[in-house]
Amino acid sequence: MCQWVLRAPMDLDELLVKTSRTFALAIPMLPEPTRREVSVAYLLFRIADTFEDATTWPRAERIEALHAFSDAVTRVDVAGLRALVARWMVKPPHRHAGYLELLQQTPEVVGTLSSMSPGAREILIKHTVRTSKGMADIVARGDAAGNLQLASVPDLKAYCYIVAGIVGELLTDVFLHDAPQLESVRGALTANMVEFGEGLQLVNILKDSGDDAKDGRAYLPQGVDRDEVLELARKDLDCASRYIDALQRGGAPKGYLGFTGISVMLARAALKVLENDGPGAKVSRLEVARLMGQLQATLASGASMLQATA
């Protein structure tokens, strides 16, 4: 019998804390309704990612779950998801307790879409379905056990687009929907949104490459110098800084600048640690606190976010 039991009521902030250190720190900076929309979007993408990385499931089960999840999100089918969750938890797809707790709450997370504005709901559904189906295609490329080896830098970029570039597109759609004044900088946002997501993902790939290899995932292509990936990540984070600069020039709420700003500042700090100490190295809590203080001072003074995140 499955030992995992659904909790009620659902607490979005608690689920964020249990599934993401960075986003649990960044998302609360956003104003409502954007905060709730981005919280739910992150959790939806995290559920899909849990299936893609399902370390205890073979390829076929991962693909089936991603398509079933995608279909249920499209219909906002809470009842159908309850039946699916019961089936998924017979043999949990992951060993991470936070991910499994979130997985149990899938019906409740998807159910929050019904209380959103039609525009926000459409954005979240569209991009969740896109990334879920894209992840299914990625999993299909692996062997029967789900092991995957990316072949080249273009292959790596294509993977990053599915799992993170789409996140940049989703955030941009949500920001433009909730803060119409940003239409004046739409061009600059769309020019940098995919690289924003890609840069954050590349940092994660570099950081987690050792653990990923143990689980049968090799996102760093064989034969490609690690320094080349580091340089690509740096260039992407430069685009991310330009994205944040566009938000600031467009009159975005300070919470938008804080959310995006701390994400990029932490990614740059992680990149420096990785260059010095290699895979698995993490930014210290003291450095995180310092960066948060620097960010708050920048927001309070109205100084350039481009300079703060460079």
Residue 152 clears pLDDT 50, i.e. is over it: yes
**Is the pLDDT at 214 greater than 90, yes or no?**
no
pLDDT digits (tens, 9 = 90+) for 38-61: 999 999 999 999 999 998 999 999
Let me know whether 109 and 181 are in one domain.
no
- Is 299 part of any domain? yes
Is 220 within the bounds of a domain? yes
Tell me the pLDDT band of 223, cut-offs 50, 70 and 90. Answer: confident
Looking at the predicted structure, is the pLDDT value of residue 211 above 80? no
Give the residue numbers spanning the domain of 110.
Answer: 31-116
CATH number at residue 225: 1.10.600.10
What does the pLDDT average to over 216-235? 90
pLDDT at 209 > cutoff 50: yes
Model confidence at 212: pLDDT above 90: no
Q: Is 68 part of a structural domain of the chain?
A: yes
Q: Which residue has the higher pLDDT, 279 or 185?
A: 185
Share the mean pLDDT of the chain: 93
Task: From 234, 298, 304, select the one nearest 270 (Cα to Cα).
Answer: 234
Q: Are residues 223 and 289 in the same domain?
A: yes
Pairing label, strands 148-149, 217-218: parallel
| Same domain, yes or no: 79 and 168 | no
Residue 110 and residue 154 share a domain? no
Q: What is the C-alpha separation between 5 and 127, in angstroms, rounded?
A: 29
Of 116, 139, 160, the residue at which a domain comes to its end is 116
pLDDT of residue 277: 86
Q: What percent of the chain has pLDDT over 90?
A: 85
Task: Identify the residue with better confidence: 144 or 232.
Answer: 232
Q: Facing residues of 217 across strands? A: 148
What tens digit of pLDDT does each residue of 113-140 get?
999 999 999 999 999 999 999 999 999 9
132-136, 220-224, 237-241: least confident range: 220-224
Total domains in the fold of the chain: 2
Please give the pLDDT value at position 22.
87
Q: Phi, psi at residue 150, to the nearest 5°?
A: -75, 150
Q: What is the pLDDT of residue 9?
A: 52
Q: What are the tens digits of pLDDT across the range 4-29?
A: 333 445 799 999 999 998 899 999 99
Q: With respect to residue 6, please indicate whether it lies within any of the assigned structural domains.
A: no
Is residue 59, in this structure, part of any structural domain at all? yes
Cα-only R_g, the chain: 19
Angle (nearest 5°) at CA 65 between 62 and 71: 145
Residue 305 lies in a domain: yes
pLDDT for 279 equals 80
Residues 244 and 309 in one domain: yes
Tell whether the model's pLDDT for residue 188 goes beyond 80.
Answer: yes
Q: Indicate whether 111 and 241 sit together in one domain.
A: no
For residue 199, pLDDT over 60 is answered with yes
What's the pLDDT score for residue 2? Answer: 38
What pLDDT score was predicted for residue 147? 86
Residues 112 and 153 in one domain: no
pLDDT at 146 over 60: yes
- Among 197, 203, 199, CA closest to 281: 203
User: Based on the domain organization, do 174 and 83 belong to the same domain?
Assistant: no
* φ/ψ (deg, to 5) at 309: -100, 0
Q: What is the arithmetic mean of pLDDT over 171-197?
A: 98
pLDDT value for 280: 77
224 plus 277 within the same structural domain: yes
Indicate if 48 and 176 belong to the same structural domain.
no
95 with 207, same domain? no
Q: Is residue 1 part of a domain?
A: no
| First and final C-alpha spacing in the chain | 52
User: Are residues 161 and 309 located together in one domain of the fold?
Assistant: yes
Q: What whole-number distance in Å separates Cα of residue 231 and Cα of residue 212?
A: 21
On whether residue 176 sits in a domain, the answer given is yes
